[in-house]
């Protein structure tokens, strides 16, 4: 089932999400719905707070990015062919590498894209959809998506990284989104 995506301005996007137990109600269905919702809205990642659940769960698919990339661009990234993965109760163990810039967007903040600096690598401990524990390092675009989705669990958004002036310039657009004055081709939750 495709779920509505929580729009910028809703408190759930500013809450720190909680770890869950294996008996969390309808978890497998929720995960299936998150994949469906993410693909329907052409996203490459989706975090549970964005579908109004304040829990530490997110899904990412960087495989589709590489699949759609021009051949000459593909060699630039260390994480080819990408990762498709469910992350439950993820916690960051370490960040590594240099900071690099990438133009980010967010399904909760439609029609806004901005350059954001993040580290090249992230090591995190998480459970997969079967509650099997992993500690793994991710790089490149995959690390980028993970760090963006992980921020959602911490109540953080990519616009928080922008310089104050840039943020000020976006204020009108952000206010419009929070009031539902934005046109998107997927369903959103404004209040
Ligand atoms: Ni996002």
What are the chain's domains? 5-189 (3.90.45.10)
* pLDDT greater than 90 at residue 75: no
Contact 57, 50 (CB under 8 A): no
Cα(57) to centroid of ligand 1, in Å? 13
pTM metric for this prediction: 0.97
Confidence of residue 191 (pLDDT cuts 50, 70, 90): confident
Structure tokens at 79: 């994480």
Q: Which of 36, 70, 80, 149 is labelled catalytic?
A: 149
Query: Residue 76 half-sphere exposure, CB side, CA atoms within 13 Å?
Result: 9
52 burial level (CB within 10 Å; 0-12, 13-18, 19+): middle
Question: Sorting pLDDT into bands at 50, 70 and 90, what band is 72?
Answer: confident
Closest CA to 7 of 100, 148, 109: 109
160, containing H or E segment: none
- How many Å apart are CA 40 and CA 31, to the nearest integer? 14
Q: Which residue has the tokens 């990412």?
A: 60
Q: Which residue, chain included where needed, has tokens 């299936």?
A: 32
- pLDDT, tens digit (0-9, with 9 covering 90-100), for 94-147: 999 999 999 999 999 999 999 999 999 999 999 999 999 999 999 999 999 999
| Distance between Cα 73 and ligand 1 center (Å) | 24
Average pLDDT over residues 154-172: 97
Mean pLDDT of all residues in the chain? 96
CA-nearest of 64, 96, 103 to 81 is 64
Q: Give the span between the Cα atoms of 8 and 191, in whole angstroms.
A: 10
| 54-81 mean pLDDT | 92
| Ligand 1 centroid – CA 159 distance (Å) | 10
Compute the distance from residue 120 Cα to the ligand 1 centre, in Å: 18
* CB neighbours of residue 40 within 10 Å: 14
Dist. CA 147 → ligand 1 center (Å):
10
CA–centroid distance, 47 to ligand 1, in Å, is 7
Residue 74 confidence (pLDDT) = 82
Report which DSSP code applies to 10: -
Instruction: Name 71's Cβ contacts closer than 8 Å, sequence gap at least 6.
Output: none
Say how many Å lie between the CA of residue 98 and the centre of ligand 1: 22
Give the pLDDT band (50/70/90) at residue 76: confident
120 is catalytic: no
Using CA atoms, how far apart are residues 67 and 44, in angstroms rounded to an integer? Answer: 12
């Amino acid at each position: 089932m495709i779920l509505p995506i929580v729009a910028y301005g809703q408190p759930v996007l500013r809450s720190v999400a909680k770890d869950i137990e294996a008996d969390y109600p309808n978890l497998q269905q929720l995960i299936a719905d998150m994949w469906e919702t993410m693909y329907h809205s052409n996203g490459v990642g989706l975090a549970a707070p964005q579908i109004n659940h304040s829990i530490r769960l997110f899904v990412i698919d960087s495989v589709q990015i590489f699949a759609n990339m021009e051949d000459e661009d593909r060699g630039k990234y260390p994480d080819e062919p990408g990762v498709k993965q469910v992350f439950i109760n993820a916690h960051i163990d370490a960040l590594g590498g240099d900071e690099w810039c990438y133009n980010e967007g967010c399904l909760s903040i439609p029609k806004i894209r901005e350059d954001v600096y993040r580290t090249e690598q992230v090591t995190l401990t998480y459970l997969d959809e079967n509650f099997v524990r992993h500690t793994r390092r991710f790089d490149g675009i995959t690390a980028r998506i993970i760090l963006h989705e992980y921020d959602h669990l911490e109540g953080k958004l990519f616009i928080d990284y922008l310089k104050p002036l840039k943020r000020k310039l976006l204020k009108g657009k952000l206010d419009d989104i929070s009031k539902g004055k934005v046109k998107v081709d997927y369903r959103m939750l404004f209040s």
